[in-house]
Structure 1
Amino acid sequence: MSYKDQIDLFKLPEHIAIIMDGNGRWAKGKGKLRIFGHHNGVLSVRDVVEGGVDLGLKYLTLYTFSSENWNRPKLEVMAIMELMVSTIHKEIRNFMEKNVRLNAIGDLDMLPKKCYDELQNAIKTTAGNTGLTMTLALSYSSRREIVSAAKNIAQQVKSGEIDIDDINEELFGHNLYTSDMPDPELLIRTSGEYRISNYLLWQIAYAELYFTPKLWPDFRKEDLFEAIMDYQKRERRFGMTSEQVN
């Protein structure tokens, strides 16, 4: 029986975040250049998005390119950007057919103009879609996001828009890139690494963490379903006791 058939659709996580790790190692294991892994990683994205749509998942956020990734070899970075442009262009029709809304967070101004323009066009084209919201974390750093939020709030206090006593967790959350979506309830990381890598540090405070040894190009919708099944077996207490929750 497929994991999908065992999932309780009434207990789906509303928002799943994924750290898509292992493209380079996957390619190296096959004697190929790293970009070969990135190309095959696109197939995994397509399949996982399809799985999310099939389930009725509302939010999926993918760690696509971190601010630290700019430090990688220049040729690899250029190849990734070109791949991103071509992929986004090709996928717009698929997004429209599947009612997927594209979103992006991060320091998007750092993207090459061609990539930025293609991304903004896709976001605008799919803005009216009401199904799955797929967010790409691009040139993204969670620490930088948190610092930016703190600066925004400090400026609001300085200008008299708010009082310092108005600052609370809710206000802080409204100043993050993800202010228009719920916090992730499930974080998945592929490739067998057990770290968060500066990803959604504020937002995953109460997320369930799921680590799999599979490299991202081998990850498919059935693996997503398995992660959701694991999530649904967990008891989420939020600081309370089991007796209180039950």
Structure 2
Amino acid sequence: MAIYLPELSAHDVSFPPLHRALSEPDGLLAMGGDLSVPRLLSAYRQGIFPWFSDGDPLLWWSPSTRAVFAPDSLTLSRTLKKQLRRYQLRFSVNRAFAQVISQCAAPRAKQPGTWILPAMQQAYLALHQHGHAHSIEVWQQDKLVGGLYGVQIGGLFCGESMFNRLPDTAKLALVALQTLLQQAAAGWIDCQMPNPFLLQLGVQPISRQQYLTLLTAQRGQRLPADFWQPRFFTLENEYD
């Protein structure tokens, strides 16, 4: 069956209204345009994100069901505390953004390809350089063993991808992210769409309209100017 999509203008960063998103495939809204900083920010501020595979056109999505972690929903379980002790892990913010996105793009078991294509990596590096995209890193001594990256829209962190090179370090990166966010904001984390891994961690599926209500409430908030300054940080009471 043929799919007809609006094609975005190269000179206009606006998007079609979200009610025009397809139900099959769920949330597909538009194609084309570019991955410039202004267009990406316009997308995220409206609840839209890019996602496409190698050989596909640039596709933009706003699914009918979104996935979010509510404040205080990510905590250190007994297993995660054991992993912290066992591997002697430490955490940082924005000290290795390029390495994190490269690791997220690397082939994985049963998933040889990646949607984090070179063009996507360059686009989010540009967002990072403009102060909009950020990373959480997990270290064992001087080795990067886990992490995640995403885009900050007001008080809402829009997660893009994560990776681990030791057991549970992606989970620990999520806990570290919410711990960090809650120093200056409520701690909401958008994970785009539910999947078994996120559901196991307690992600909350919500409707597109509920997500837009949350986004509207969060996007006007401001974090301190130095909030995303590169640094190491700890999880409070991490070994209790």
TM-score by length of 1: 0.30
Which structure has the bigger radius of gyration? 1
Q: Pick the structure with more strand per residue.
A: 2
TM-score by length of 2: 0.31
Q: Pick the structure with more helix per residue.
A: 1
